[in-house]
A and B are shown apart, each in its own frame.
Chain A
Amino acid sequence: MSVFLISAISIATVLLFGCVGEIITEKAGHLNLGIPGIMCMGTAGGCLGVSLYMGALSSPENASWILLVLISILFSVVFAAALGAVYALLTVTLRCNQNITGLAITIFGGGATNFIMSFVDRTHFDPAGKLISTPLPFADSLGVFGQVVLGHGVFVYLAIAIAIACAIVLNKTRVGLHLRAVGESPATADAAGINVTAYKYVAILSGSAIAGLGGFYYIMDYIKGSWENASTIEGFGWLAIALVIFVLWKPNFGILGAFLFGACYIVAFVISGITSTQKEIIKMLPYVITIVVLVITSARKNRENQPPASLGLPYFREDR
């Protein structure tokens, strides 16, 4: 059971990063279907950072945990945000179709990640992965509870912290209020003197940066640096987009939702005693639930739980 919970929390972390990143982007009125590609880019960046740092050391044993974590976050964030910037340039400034641009970003991101990873020196990924996933110091002394709740690498807590921080920023601060106004009604925000373009850029870039960490966490922490190709991470990216709908664009719900989705995803691998067919059905559940949520929210016409009103629409001030 504890293995199951630990794994579910790990997958949930990947999804939570992606989900929170996409929520922030969507709150600015942009449906970023490039998130799967951006999560891949974050992975490539983070892995490159790890490889550069480990390669610069005389011996992998000398690696410092804090430096490793900081360097990998920095690289991951920069790479993911760079691809996010391409999306922002195309959709905000050039006002291109968001769906089309997003799909192109995902195609490019997956390819570029595979390409970069084929050049990255992965010899020290195993020790780096172990170092990065070092659990909190007092986890072991607290038995099963310690293992399940405290036995994770720093990225798990980072994801939760970011989700909570985003929820607070969105609901309790002026920046959050302005961002939501931009996503709901850019014309109103503009008339109120809010710089719509700037808010959109910042939201897309920071959303991308956060999502990128999810891919990196999966490769370096969860599977300890073994790399095959980008397709698994892309799959998580699409699941994260589904999760955004499931949690009704609320980052704090995202924590629970991600755990539920993670559990559905992982149950197939961990639980014994059910057939592989049943496992496949359970793996489909997140998507089915998402559709049900989507239909119910649209049928109830409850204004609170709808996507941001301007989602997907370009804003051009003179188009009044």
Chain B
Amino acid sequence: MEKQTVIELRNITKRFGASVIANNNVSMDVKRGEILSVLGENGCGKTTLMNMLAGIYYPDEGKIIINGEEASIRSPKDAFRYNIGMIHQHFKLVDVFTAAENIVLGTGEGEKYDLKSAKTRILAMSEKYGFHIDLDKKVHEMSVSEKQTVEIIKVLYRGADVLILDEPTAVLTPQEITRLFDVLRAMREDGKSVLIITHKLNEVMEISDRVAVLRKGEHIATVNTADTTEKELADMMVGQKVTLNIDRPLPVDPELRLSVESLTLIGTEGKPVLDGISFGAYGGEILGIAGIAGSGQRELLESIAGLHHLESGTVTYFNPKKDKPITFYHKSYERVMELAHEGMLRYADGRDFTGKDEYGKSLSKKTVKALVNAGEIFFKEDEVINLREKTPLQIRELGVRFSFVPEDRLGMGLVGNMDITDNMMLRSYRRGKSVFVDRKAPEELANEIIASLQVVTPDTHTPVRRLSGGNVQKVLVGREIAAGPKVLMAAYPVRGLDINSSYTIYNLLTEQKKSGVAVVFVGEDLDVLLALCDRIMVIAGGKVMGTVDARTAKKEEIGLMMTGAAPAES
């Protein structure tokens, strides 16, 4: 039984700027009464392609043919005229409105406003497709799954025959996913076409009739789900392994630097974002973290950096201090005394330093300071520092040499309106007792970074938001490295960067590794992860799926683990 074709995409190309081609010559079709999965890795252009059907973007080249006629979709309103509706990942709902109010918003021009009859219609629709919804509930009281239901009904209420769902299962529990799939099947029986943007292979196999696979902006193939396997799809999705020319020396004497034990974080929605994560980061190696976007990578790094209140778990930092003198450079007097009482310190000749003299009397602050400044006091063992529930400032005051390149560069790592010098100061401005800030050292640092990383900028007084993406990132990474870290965490440090800037960043990270720093690298491109890192930890849905050796691991293996399919043994 041949199904009727509803939408045809013909040779669609969409560029962002001159260098980024989001979609290249894509042709595919959508049939009536089918569930079509659009499968691909992050950044393969699947959302962009669908946004062109929804009226968010307009293709640069190519045609969209709907029911046999060429269509021009310039706005979401146009899309609805062609009976196409899209449910975006970020819901567009008014929080203080009820479900019903959100659903009817912007519809029914010229008709009488009658919420009651609208509700009756909505309820009838809900019954038909098997939705469970309380129409009088306010959106801000709803769970994510309920909000998604409202979005779906909103699209149906506007008469959509083609529904596009962008990563609909990313935020749902398994039970909610089952319910969603039931609804989608009911819609298919009703003759609607459902497109699901996804990268989860198991779901593709479970729900869809056909799968369209995209890779790096190109349409690889569309296959019938019944005729394929997860393995085959994964191969199509990730493609052949690309060899990248990144220098990767073997780790030298890796030492445990950072240990995370069963870390759990509850998100704003009340669901665990991180669920019992445990791992260790070693000095002299790069630990890659792979996962689908939104699997908890960002939250994991932020939790370690002290930006979140943890539900449970520990974060421990091992300071390589054994037999090294303690200094006031990174430690306060109070911390020195604390370590002394814990029995962590000794004199040069091996006697314990407890902060007391041989008669058990406490030494004066002045004496202790003199001893420390003279380099007479040493660590007996490596210092073990518990970071749980510490603020970023406390972590720094404890002498923990953490550097963190956050995902949101201008919103968190840097201040966009400030110049490069002032951004250098973010880390160091507290130094010294003076009430005034010292701009001399940061200025020098800024010039140094501009010179060594070839930052393209008129001068050090240009606000960073006026620099291009690559240069912004160089400024941020440069500053974090200049802080002389023992642990360097970087979240998507090459996202949006051109090839040259990306390589600059890879080389910087490798250099740090060579100098004994524990580097934690969160990335999205598997080829890069496989070429740059020593070990790769794969997380999915806030859980560790497994850790693999980057030198021997297969790309497909990691791809499968990322989808939460099969934890590998390691």
Contact = CB atoms under 8 A, between A and B. Distances in A.
Q: Are chains A and B touching in the complex at the 8 Å CB cutoff?
A: yes
Interface of A: 172-174, 177-178, 180-181, 184-185, 187-189, 191-194, 303-304, 306, 309
A303 B105 contact: no
Contact of A180 (B80, B97, B106): B97
B94 A185 contact: yes
Interface string B55-98: 00000000000000000000011001000000000001111110
Contacts of A180: 94, 96-97
A30 B106 CA distance: 21
B76 A191 contact: yes
B94 A181 contact: yes
10 contacts: A173-B113, A180-B94, A181-B97, A184-B97, A188-B93, A188-B105, A189-B94, A193-B76, A303-B138, A306-B96
B161 interface: no
Interface of B: 76-77, 80, 92-97, 101, 104-108, 113, 138, 140
Contact of A178 (B80, B105, B138): B105
A309 B96 CA distance: 9
Nearest to B55: A191
A187 B105 contact: no
A272 to B, nearest CB: 46
B100 to A, nearest CB: 10
Contacts, number: 56
Contacts of B92: 185, 187-188, 191-192
B77 A188 contact: no
B106 A178 contact: yes
A171 to B, nearest CB: 10
A168 to B, nearest CB: 11
A16 B140 CA distance: 31
Given A177-B104, A178-B105, A188-B105, 9 more contacts: A177-B101, A178-B106, A184-B95, A188-B94, A192-B92, A192-B105, A192-B106, A193-B76, A303-B96
Nearest to A305: B96
Nearest to B111: A174
Given A178-B106, A181-B105, A192-B106, A309 B113 contact: no
A192 B80 CA distance: 10
Contacts of A177: 97, 101, 104-105, 113
Contacts of A188: 92-94, 105
Interface centre among A177, A178, A192, A306 (most CB of B within 10 A): A192
B41 to A, nearest CB: 24
Nearest to A172: B113
Contact of B94 (A172, A184, A193): A184
A127 B113 CA distance: 45
Contacts of A194: 105-106
Contacts of B93: 185, 188
Contact of A189 (B77, B95, B106, B138): B106
Contacts of B76: 191, 193
A188 B76 CA distance: 12
A107 to B, nearest CB: 30
A184 B140 CA distance: 12
B79 to A, nearest CB: 11
A188 B97 CA distance: 12
A313 B107 CA distance: 26
Contact of A303 (B95, B101, B113): B95
Nearest to A304: B96
B151 to A, nearest CB: 11
Interface centre among B104, B105, B108 (most CB of A within 10 A): B105
Contacts of B105: 177-178, 181, 188-189, 192, 194
Contacts of A193: 76-77, 80, 106
Contacts of A309: 95-96
B506 to A, nearest CB: 31
Contacts of B138: 303-304
A237 to B, nearest CB: 27
Contacts of B77: 193
Nearest to B141: A303
A180 B95 CA distance: 11
Nearest to A176: B113
A194 to B, nearest CB: 5
Interface centre among B93, B94, B138 (most CB of A within 10 A): B94
